[in-house]
């Protein structure tokens, strides 16, 4: 079946450093790739997403890159801050039986930013 | 209140109990979802409702029974659960008009369920 692999499972960086989280997906028909951030005890929240017709998207300190040929996409966080500490989930969409899309999630990356 | 609201936040139930989880979205969305979040596992999609019709039942045991009376409300009825069903249950909504293939999910805060 379809799956999304996410690495690393944990990542510790010093404040100010960059963090990179990588995901690979299996379904070549996937066309939407969101990233969610989940702080401890809180809901997952969308932080950035990318469609299959672009290769890169940036929003301030956060960027996502997509390589459709290799079927992988990455989240890049620059100038990390302690408030970036959270679990980050990648996901890939799979359309089925109509318009509602289904997201397959990765297992998550626990990012710890050390002050 | 805006967004997606879930009640209760925490629930402890015995294996013979019957309980229900409630979700309400105030975003005007037409699709609602139940996800299960367990430690060290990906978010697992359980059920999807689009325009109040169930469009996905992802091989979920019958002890979980969803109900979507209208596009703003979603319930998950629980009965005779097992300890391994203990997890965080997340509700989400999205806007999925016909032919639109991607729209962000908006999650609730979840219900932390413990089955004893």
More confident residue, B35 or A31: B35
**Does the structure show a pLDDT above 90 at A53?**
no
User: Is the Cβ pair A44, B43 closer than 8 Å?
Assistant: yes
For residue B42, give the nearest of A96, A99, A106 by CB distance.
A106
More confident residue, A86 or A94: A86
At B59 the pLDDT is: 81
Distances from the Cα of B84 to the Cα of A13, A22, B15, B38, B56, angstroms: 34, 30, 11, 9, 22
Mean pLDDT of all residues belonging to chain A: 92
**Does the structure show a pLDDT above 60 at A28?**
yes
Mean pLDDT throughout A79-98?
87
> Closest Cα of chain A to B23: distance in Å?
13
- Residue carrying structure tokens 């019957």: B18
More confident residue, A102 or A38: A38
For residue B110, give the nearest of A43, A45, A107 by CB distance.
A43
Q: What is the pLDDT of residues B63-106, one digit of tens each?
A: 999 999 998 999 999 999 999 999 999 999 988 755 555 678 89
Q: What is the pLDDT of residues B9-50, one digit of tens each?
A: 999 999 888 999 999 999 999 889 999 999 878 899 899 888
Give backbone dihedrals phi and psi of B98, rounded to 5 degrees, phi first.
-55, 130
At A41 the pLDDT is: 85
A26 touches chain B (CB under 8 A): no
Q: Which tokens in the block code for residue A93?
A: 């969409």
**Does the structure show a pLDDT above 70 at A47?**
yes
Mean pLDDT throughout A23-38?
92
**Does the structure show a pLDDT above 60 at A99?**
no
Nearest CA in chain B to A90: B42
What contacts 24+ positions apart, CB below 8 Å, involve A42-46? Answer: A42/B109, A43/B4, A43/B90, A43/B107, A43/B108, A43/B109, A43/B110, A44/A89, A44/B43, A44/B90, A44/B105, A44/B107, A45/B107, A46/B104, A46/B105, A46/B106
**Does the structure show a pLDDT above 60 at A23?**
yes
For residue B107, give the nearest of A44, A99, A101 by CB distance.
A44
Q: Which tokens in the block code for residue A71?
A: 């079927």
Cα(B13)–Cα(B21) distance, integer angstroms: 12
**Does the structure show a pLDDT above 80 at A37?**
yes
Q: Are B65 and B76 in contact (CB under 8 A)?
A: yes
For residue B104, give the nearest of A31, A46, A108 by CB distance.
A46
Q: Which residues of B touch A44 (CB under 8 A)?
A: 43, 90, 105, 107
**Does the structure show a pLDDT above 80 at A8?**
yes
Interface test with B, best of A31, A43, A97 (most B CBs within 10 A): A43
Q: Which residues of B touch A32 (CB under 8 A)?
A: 101-102
> Closest Cα of chain A to B82: distance in Å?
23
Q: Residue A86, exposed/middle/buried by CB under 10 A (0-12, 13-18, 19+)?
A: buried
> Closest Cα of chain B to A4: distance in Å?
9
Give every strand in the sheet of B73-79, ordered side by side: B4-7, B18-25, B73-79, B64-70
Cα(B34)–Cα(B66) distance, integer angstroms: 9
């Amino acid at each position: 079946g379809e799956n999304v692999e996410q690495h690393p499972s944990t990542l510790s960086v010093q404040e100010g450093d960059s963090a990179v989280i990588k995901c690979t997906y299996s379904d070549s028909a996937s066309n939407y790739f969101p990233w969610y951030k989940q702080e401890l005890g809180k809901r997952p929240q969308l932080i950035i997403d990318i469609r299959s017709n672009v290769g890169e998207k940036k929003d301030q300190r956060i960027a996502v890159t997509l390589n459709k040929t290799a079927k992988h996409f990455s989240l890049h966080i620059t100038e990390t801050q302690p408030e970036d500490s959270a679990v980050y989930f990648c996901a890939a969409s799979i359309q089925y039986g109509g318009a509602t899309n289904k997201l397959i999630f990765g297992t998550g990356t626990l990012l710890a930013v050390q002050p | 209140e805006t967004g997606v609201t879930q009640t209760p936040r925490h629930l402890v139930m015995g294996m013979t109990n019957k309980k229900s989880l409630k979700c309400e979205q105030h975003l005007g969305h037409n699709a609602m979802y139940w996800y299960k979040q367990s430690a060290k596992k990906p978010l697992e999609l359980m059920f999807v409702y689009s325009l109040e019709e169930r469009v996905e039942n992802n091989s979920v045991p019958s002890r979980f029974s969803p109900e979507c009376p209208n596009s703003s409300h979603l319930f998950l009825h629980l009965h005779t659960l097992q300890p391994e069903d203990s997890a965080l249950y997340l509700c989400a909504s999205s806007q999925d008009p016909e032919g639109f293939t991607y729209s962000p999910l908006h999650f609730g805060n979840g219900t932390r369920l413990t089955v004893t």
